[in-house]
Amino acid sequence: MTPPETAAASRTAPQSNTDLLGLYTDMRRVRTFEERVGELFVRGQSAGSMLHLSIGEESAAVGVCSAMRDGDTFTTHHRGHGIFLARGADPNRMMAEIAGKQDGYCHGKGGSMHIADMGLGHLGANAIVGGGIPAVVGAGLVAKRRGTGAVSIAFFGDGAMQQGILYESMNMAALWDLPVMFVCINNQYGMGTRVDQATRATKFEERAIAFGLAGRAVDGLDVLEVREAAAELVDGARTGKPAFLSVDCYRFFGHARKDKSPYRTEAEETAGRKRDPVAHARAALLDAGTDEALLDRIDGDAATEMDATIDFAVASAEPPLSSMFLDVYGPDEPMPEPLATRIDRVLARE
């Protein structure tokens, strides 16, 4: 199993059977974490009534993140658990945040759809479709002016391809030669609307090319193909050639955990789930002579690690009410007076 502290180093390794093993390990960790997130929801221990799983999209998260390096920044959409985990996040703190607990990345205030951590370059997840996209333009502008060599990447779903903010952002990135990449994880559905019912033009990379970006599309079944395309585009972005990558995947389950996806037939879902990037990588490793017992150990390690995240989240304390306004106002601003305290003060004068 690739521990979080060594994940960044593995991202710079050359593509090989050994590298595929590392990518498989990371995808298995993402898949298992998402399965445990679903379990937390069913147990009624997640915060809020909505969460969105990225099962079936692991190659996009791991493949693209493997091409990133320390100092790079990114934003995610509401289906971003796997992306953050692929960038080296602590799964215990992630699960605690999803549970709304004090030990979470945002001390329980963000929940599933608003996790952020500047230390790992995570500029924030966003529940608004396309809401995180423009932030990477600003981050890219900063990186260019400071000469840091960093790249900023926006991850979003195919639903954001119909949002105007994406096109404004792509235009600015191209016009200013920013070190930015836009990654559309095309899981074929925007909530319950199939992509070809939302737009006639489904070759999304062609839209980016029209704005002057380097655009590519890749099949998300093969994580090595995703990594190869991402590495090429990220390298170009570092030199001021902004890019766009569309990764075709299949969303295994409904839009949110409670969505039973009645808009899809059982036959379609059965066929779609055969496009499993984790199973594909495992089969490729076995074909290349990898010991099956080694893969079983990787799977078992991931299960043990992610089982522990639920225990950690459940044991974590609820955030105290007094922390409600922390991190909301500037450090020099006085905390707002609670309503009950204000009422008591007013009544005391009378």
User: Domain map of the chain by residue range?
Assistant: 4-322
Quick check: 336 pLDDT over 50? Answer: yes
Query: Is there a contact between 120 and 85 (Cβ–Cβ < 8 Å)?
Result: no
Quick check: 11 pLDDT over 90? Answer: no
Q: What secondary structure letter does DSSP report for 152?
A: E
Q: In Å, what is the CA distance from 230 to each residue of 79, 95, 127, 131, 246?
A: 19, 28, 25, 22, 10
User: Token pair of 294, please?
Assistant: 């080694």
pLDDT tier, 350 (very low <50, low <70, confident <90, very high otherwise): low
| pLDDT in the model for residue 6 | 38
Quick check: 276 pLDDT over 70? Answer: yes
pLDDT tier, 32 (very low <50, low <70, confident <90, very high otherwise): very high
103, HSE (Cβ side, Cα atoms, 13 Å) = 16
| pLDDT in the model for residue 9 | 35
Radius of gyration of the chain (CA): 21
Residue 196 burial by Cβ neighbours in a 10 Å radius (0-12, 13-18, 19+): exposed
Alpha carbon of residue 344 to chain centroid: 45
**Residues 263-267: what's their mean pLDDT?**
92
pLDDT tier, 14 (very low <50, low <70, confident <90, very high otherwise): very low
Name which of 222, 314, 278 is nearest 36 in CA terms.
314
Report pLDDT digits (tens) over 141-191.
999 999 999 999 999 999 999 999 999 999 999 999 999 999 999 999 989
Name which of 248, 244, 177, 188 is nearest 216 in CA terms.
244
Quick check: 12 pLDDT over 50? Answer: no
Quick check: 272 pLDDT over 60? Answer: yes
| pLDDT in the model for residue 264 | 92
Name which of 98, 94, 96, 92 is nearest 83 in CA terms.
94
Query: Is there a contact between 182 and 166 (Cβ–Cβ < 8 Å)?
Result: yes
Least reliable range by pLDDT among 59-63, 85-89, 244-248, 327-331: 327-331
| pLDDT in the model for residue 49 | 74
Q: Which residues of 4-43 are buried (b: 16+ CB within 10 A; e: fewer)?
A: eeebbebbeeeeeeebbbbbbbbbbbbbbbbebbbebbee
**Residues 94-122: what's their mean pLDDT?**
94
Percent of the chain with pLDDT over 90: 75
Report pLDDT digits (tens) over 296-321.
999 999 999 999 999 999 999 999 98
| pLDDT in the model for residue 330 | 85
Q: In Å, what is the CA distance from 115 to each residue of 3, 81, 144, 186, 338?
A: 21, 9, 26, 22, 26
Query: Is there a contact between 169 and 133 (Cβ–Cβ < 8 Å)?
Result: yes
Average pLDDT, the chain: 91
d(CA 146, CA 346): 52
Query: Is there a contact between 105 and 116 (Cβ–Cβ < 8 Å)?
Result: yes
d(CA 136, CA 121): 11
Higher pLDDT, 13 or 189: 189
Q: Residue 217: phi, psi to the nearest 5?
A: -125, 145
**Residues 233-239: what's their mean pLDDT?**
97
Q: What secondary structure letter does DSSP report for 190?
A: E
| pLDDT in the model for residue 228 | 97
Strands (E), the chain: 73-76, 122-125, 152-157, 180-186, 189-190, 193-194, 214-219, 243-248
Least reliable range by pLDDT among 229-243, 293-307, 319-333: 319-333
d(CA 129, CA 274): 28
d(CA 95, CA 318): 13
Give the CATH H-level superfamily of domain 4-322: Thiamin diphosphate (ThDP)-binding fold, Pyr/PP domains (3.40.50.970)
pLDDT tier, 17 (very low <50, low <70, confident <90, very high otherwise): low
Quick check: 218 pLDDT over 60? Answer: yes
Q: What secondary structure letter does DSSP report for 253?
A: S
| pLDDT in the model for residue 140 | 98
